[in-house]
Amino acid sequence: MTGETTSEEDFVSVQANKAVKPRPLNATSIPGMLTLFQNEWDELMLETFTLKQHLDSTRQELSQALYQHDAACRVIARLMRERDEARAMLSMLQSQGVTVPTDGAMSAPDTEAMEVSGGATETGLGEGVLEKITEKYGELTKGRKGRKPPADLSSKEDVAGYSQVASFTPHQSSKPGVTCLALLSSEASSLALTGGADKHAILTSIPSGEVLCTLKGHSKKVTAVALHENAETTRPLAFTGGADNTVKVWKPSTSTDSFSYSEATSFSTHSADVTGLTVHPTGDYLVSVSSDSSWCFLDVNRGVSLVQQNKAQGQGGEDLSPIQSGCFHPDGLILATGGSDGSVRIWDIREQANVAICSEHTGGVLSMSFNENGYMLATGGEDGCAHIWDLRKQKSLQKIEALSPKAVTSVAFDYSGVYLACGSAAGAISVSVVKEWSEMNRLEIHKKAVTGLGWTHRASSLVSCSMDRSIRVSSKAE
């Protein structure tokens, strides 16, 4: 290594012991060797156990990292969607001549008209909205567990014997036809809000038929109506949608002497007929569905559209078919919509994502109703069938063909979830018991298509409306 020449004197003699080291004492016998083998096995097992612990710890760390990555991707996707919606809103405002300075102040020559129209759009559901609907979901879900049908619910024998006991025609005869029905019933009273081809919505007392108020504001026929209890007064909030593409919110006066309503907000977010309205259980939000293939989540109190969805996010992002019906789940976190292509889509309101598609109908889905048990959904279609869907399994539990081949234009569960009524385009109404599904009563009381059905308190009567301009009440004959 040093490059110097090495001589013999530089080497040192090394003495090596050639004797073989004897075996340890415990290896000189078979029991001793077995003990050695046992110790080696125990050490091997201990090492294997330690490695498995490390593997499990690594897997947990990997799972946590993947979860954080997925959450980050969701946040990024939401932010990108909000950015795109903000850009679209900005472009729309600029096209309308609205100037948006860098400090956020906004001015326009037609600001007052914009406020009246109620067509403003925000970018998605905020934390406050999500917190409110989640809190309501927890409250309603807790109250539903273990709930049984009330003891004073109308019996099967009584419902099987229902017949027409009242009939009235509050809408104008110049343009005949009652197009939709919403019913709000309690032990004290029952109110029916109906929309007509005469462009009016009329609030009627059931079963007397007394007209309490007429709502005038649509320029074309009223195609959808809804009612919801109002915490401020004893009068309910009223909602209407029309073929003039608008949704209107009507608030009652604070006076208890008479039924007087005024238009509070008008939404013009749709570009085609409004085909359905459904109120969130909080009463603060409303979803409208339209034949323009979109649904909108509307803030009733602020008069703004928070979301307009026309793509099936979560199911490939394809465009939706024209939507013919819509309904909130009783807990308010799920929305169901029925399309003209026969599809029943289930939406997660918090993510505005299409989480499931049920496809058994061969024609458009015209009507739907959730059972208060929380997991059944009834739908009626142009194919003449009504389907009962189990949301837990996402499949049809029962196919009802009692009204076939005529289209099933309306379906309605009673509040207890025991009875189901289906109305047809021929004017017939079929009543069945949940889980039995066989027809227990058939009412041939309308001359034209049944356009709306509703049960009063404790299923004491069934209210129906039709294109024959009549509103009829069926109950047990006195």
**With 90 as the cut, is the pLDDT of residue 124 above it?**
no
pLDDT score of 42: 92
Query: Is pLDDT of 426 > 50?
Result: yes
Residue labelled with tokens 């989640």: 134
**How do residues 221-258 score in pLDDT, each as one tens digit?**
999 999 998 777 778 999 999 999 999 999 998 776 67
Residue 233 CB contacts under 8 Å (≥ 6 apart), including other chains: 252, 253, 254, 256
367, 409 Cβ separation under 8 angstroms: yes
Print burial letters for 259-295: b (CB count within 10 Å at least 16), e (below 16).
bebebbbbbebbeebbbbbbbbbbbbbbbbbbbbbbb
Per-residue pLDDT tens digits for 18-57: 776 777 777 778 888 888 888 889 999 999 999 999 999 9
Sequence-distant (≥ 6) Cβ neighbours of residue 285 within 8 angstroms: 129, 133, 279, 297, 298, 299, 300, 306
CB 455 within 8 A of CB 466: no
Write down the pLDDT at residue 105: 44
Beta bridge partners, 473, equal: 166, 463
pLDDT for 388: 96
Which residue matches tokens 């049960």?
A: 455
End-to-end CA distance of the chain: 122
Q: In this structure, are residues 471 and 167 in contact, taking their beta carbons and an 8 Å threshold?
A: yes
**pLDDT for residue 235:** 87
Whether pLDDT at 127 is above 90: no
Tokens of 317: 């992002």
Peptide bond into 252 cis (omega under 30): no
The pLDDT tens digits for 57-104 are 999 999 999 989 989 999 999 898 888 888 877 776 665 555 554 444
Is residue 197 scored above 90 in pLDDT? yes
Name residue 307's amino acid: V
More confident residue, 274 or 92: 274
pLDDT tens digits for 380-411? 999 999 999 998 888 899 999 988 889 999 99
Q: What pLDDT does residue 104 have?
A: 44
Three-point CA angle 76, 80, 84, nearest 5°: 170
Strand-strand pairing, 334-339 and 343-348: antiparallel
Verdict on whether the full-model pTM lies above 0.85: no
Query: Cα–Cα distance between 207 and 183 in angstroms, integer?
Result: 12
Supply 5's token pair. 């020449």
Mean pLDDT of 280-298: 94
The letter for the amino acid at 39 is: N
* Confidence at residue 311, expressed as pLDDT on a 0 to 100 scale: 75
Cβ distance 339 to 321 under 8 Å? Answer: yes
Beta bridge mates, 182: 193
How many angstroms separate the CA atoms of 325 and 291, rounded? 9
